[in-house]
């Protein structure tokens, strides 16, 4: 059955579910050390990675979530209540789209806390404007890059993986994304319960659900996706992007409010730098704690393919190299860079209207020039790094 909605008062029914779960996990450890190590790391958390189809027969009594990927953990007991709801639609070969949502709530003694974890499987919108917005949201969660060449990333509260070419739909890559949020009635906090503080665990959770999704969609590779290497931190030295400008956002000199502004006009400028590598570079620019722009570069072939059909055949502006555009909502350029195809993009948010970042005409050229210089490729902008 593709779709199921239920309350989870019976999620831990079956008396001996704990023993069966341990036997299932032990069986999987014997066959795949990586998956077993992950199960051990998460067994005390809210969600426990599930052995899946190779579990022993009587383990079917345990409730499984999200296309068979997860089962309810034994602890903490606060989640073994009637306030958990679950809804999923599994992808299929005929309909390669799917979703899974788990919600729960409890009283912490002060107020009621609500948690929600959502999983999506799909290739995104076809419409160019909607696809740009979809991609901006995907890359906004790029806090740490997955290792071993996997085309994906994790952050506090989200994780994204682009699936192999076999799972493409009409030429568009399929993507699995996981996100979580906790709300106490006052604030919404992005979080993956008991996982988000450890990027490696979040990445393993992502890969596990992606493997199950591909099985359901009929496009699973012969060898399941996985990784063992640690996830490198998204740290870069302060002098990585020196271009001759005064200090600015994203550790890029010159990435700041337009020239001629009043003294101190960059006082509210702040940014968060994500991964910085030859495959992926991201940054979120804030103006007085409000997101004003998101800037991204990717040269990983599977991530680059997400932007197919968006660049057009003309350069973004006169004198630029490559194909792309600059408009009121953002900018994008696709160009060859050191033997690879790279895509650099910017998306501004609606709240940027009253900030120095209302249009991309100043920010994006500085960003593109600095990134091209870091990668060692030919200048993309008309004046290289002399914007």
Contacts of residues 312-320 at CB distance under 8 Å and 24 or more positions apart, as own/partner, are: 316/364, 317/382, 318/382, 319/381, 319/382, 319/383, 320/380, 320/381, 320/382
Report the pLDDT averaged over residues 185-203. 77
Q: Quick check: 312 and 323 in contact, CB under 8 A?
A: yes
**Is 386 a residue whose pLDDT tops 60?**
no
**Is 16 a residue whose pLDDT tops 90?**
no
**Is 257 a residue whose pLDDT tops 90?**
no
| Pure H helices in 175-307 | 199-217, 301-305
- The most distant pair of C-alpha atoms in the chain lies apart, rounded to whole Å, by 72
Taking only the tens place, the pLDDT of each residue in 273-292 is 888 999 999 988 888 878 88
Instruction: Between 307 and 10, name the one with better pLDDT.
Output: 307
Q: Distance between CA atoms of 80 and 78, rounded to whole angstroms? A: 6
Residue 128 phi/psi, 5-degree rounding, is -60, -45
pLDDT at 236: 52
**Is 38 a residue whose pLDDT tops 90?**
no
In the chain, DSSP finds a helix count (H) and a strand count (E) of: 6, 18
Report the pLDDT averaged over residues 181-209. 82
69, 104, 124, 202, 313 from 127: Cα distances, Å: 31, 34, 9, 31, 17
The upper half-sphere exposure of residue 43, i.e. CA atoms within 13 Å in the direction of its Cβ, equals 15
**Is 6 a residue whose pLDDT tops 60?**
no
pLDDT at 266: 61
Taking only the tens place, the pLDDT of each residue in 75-102 is 323 344 557 788 999 999 999 999 999 8
* 111-125, 132-146, 264-278, 289-303, range with the lowest pLDDT: 264-278
Listed in sequence order, the residues at least 6 apart from 16 whose beta carbon sits closer than 8 Å to its beta carbon are none
H/E segment holding residue 256: none
96, 321, 323, 383 from 318: Cα distances, Å: 41, 9, 11, 11
pTM exceeds cut of 0.85: no
φ/ψ bin of 297: left (φ > 0), alpha (ψ from -120 to 50), beta (otherwise) = beta
DSSP one-letter code for 252:
B
């Amino acid at each position: 059955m593709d779709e199921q909605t239920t309350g989870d008062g019976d999620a831990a029914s079956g008396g001996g579910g704990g023993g069966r779960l341990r036997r299932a996990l032990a069986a999987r450890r014997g066959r795949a050390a990586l998956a077993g190590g992950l199960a051990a790391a998460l067994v005390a958390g809210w969600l426990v990675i599930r052995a899946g189809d190779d579990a022993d027969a009587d383990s079917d009594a345990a409730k499984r979530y999200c296309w068979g990927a997860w089962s309810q953990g034994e602890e903490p007991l606060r989640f073994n209540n009637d306030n958990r709801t679950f809804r999923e639609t599994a992808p299929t070969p005929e309909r390669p789209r799917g979703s899974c949502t788990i919600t729960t709530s409890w009283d912490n003694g002060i107020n009621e806390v609500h948690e929600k974890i959502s999983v999506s499987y799909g290739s995104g919108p076809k419409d160019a404007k909607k696809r740009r917005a979809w991609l901006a949201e995907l890359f906004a969660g790029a806090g740490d890059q997955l290792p071993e060449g996997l085309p994906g990333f994790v952050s506090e509260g989200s994780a994204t993986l682009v699936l192999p070419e076999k799972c493409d739909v009409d030429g568009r890559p399929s993507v699995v994304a996981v996100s979580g949020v906790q709300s106490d009635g006052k604030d919404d906090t992005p979080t993956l319960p008991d996982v988000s503080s450890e990027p490696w665990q979040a990445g393993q959770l992502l890969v596990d659900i992606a493997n199950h999704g591909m099985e359901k969609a009929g496009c699973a590779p012969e060898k399941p996706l996985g990784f063992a290497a640690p996830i490198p931190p998204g740290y870069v030295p302060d002098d990585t992007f020196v271009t001759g400008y005064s200090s600015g956002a994203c550790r890029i000199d010159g990435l700041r409010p337009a020239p001629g502004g009043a003294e101190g006009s960059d006082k509210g400028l702040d940014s968060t730098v994500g991964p910085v590598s030859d495959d992926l570079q991201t940054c979120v620019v804030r103006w007085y704690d409000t997101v004003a722009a998101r800037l991204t570069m990717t040269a990983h072939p599977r991530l680059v393919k997400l932007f197919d059909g968006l660049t057009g055949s003309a350069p973004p502006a006169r004198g630029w190299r490559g194909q792309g555009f600059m408009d009121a909502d953002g900018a994008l350029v696709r160009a060859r860079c050191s033997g690879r195809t790279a895509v650099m993009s910017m998306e501004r948010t609606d709240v940027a209207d009253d900030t120095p970042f209302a249009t991309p005409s100043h920010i994006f050229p500085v960003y593109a020039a600095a990134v091209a210089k870091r990668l060692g490729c030919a200048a993309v902008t008309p004046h290289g790094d002399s914007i």
